[in-house]
């Protein structure tokens, strides 16, 4: 069983930065995915970025590419999302998620790929 706890959300002015962290308890296999999703009020949850638990290749949605960076620490216990050049449209609840099976490049941005979810952390950009 894996538990995920997000931290690092907050309020920031447009153009600012925030760094979100996802701390995982339990083991996540190298080919499984850890992803960040977000959900704004009145909108569906959308994939933002994901990384394989073993590290390496990262993937981003077009809306955040070039501004956000996902990474993991060497012990594979924390995945971070560095968010730069934040805009009001980035305002949302951000969730960390982990899969229980190896994921594909296409599957990594899909909610149904993920079994474990954190409680979310709010990001507000004004």
Per residue in 13-65, pLDDT tens?
Answer: 999 999 999 998 887 777 889 999 999 999 999 999 999 887 778 999 999 99
Q: What is the Cα–Cα distance from 80 to 8, expressed in whole angstroms?
A: 9
Paired tokens of 15: 């153009």
What's the pLDDT at 76?
61
Paired tokens of 61: 């949605």
The strand pair at 68-72 and 121-125 is best described as unpaired
What's the pLDDT at 121?
97
Question: 46 near 39, Cβ under 8 Å?
Answer: yes
Query: CA angle at residue 124 from 72 to 63, to 5 degrees?
Result: 60
What's the pLDDT at 73?
83
What share of the chain in percent tops pLDDT 90? 75
**50: closest CA among 5, 101, 105, 90?**
105
């Amino acid at each position: 069983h894996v538990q995920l706890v997000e931290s690092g959300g907050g309020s920031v002015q447009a153009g600012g930065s925030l760094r979100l962290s996802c701390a995982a308890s339990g083991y996540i296999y190298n080919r499984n995915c850890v992803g960040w999703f977000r959900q704004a009020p009145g909108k569906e949850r959308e994939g933002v970025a994901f990384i394989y638990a073993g590290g390496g290749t990262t993937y981003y949605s077009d809306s955040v590419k070039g501004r956000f960076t996902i990474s993991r620490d060497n012990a594979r216990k924390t995945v971070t999302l560095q968010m730069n050049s934040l805009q009001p449209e980035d305002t949302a609840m951000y969730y960390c998620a982990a899969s229980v099976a190896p994921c594909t490049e296409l599957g990594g941005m899909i909610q149904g790929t993920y079994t474990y979810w954190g409680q979310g952390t709010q990001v507000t950009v004004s």
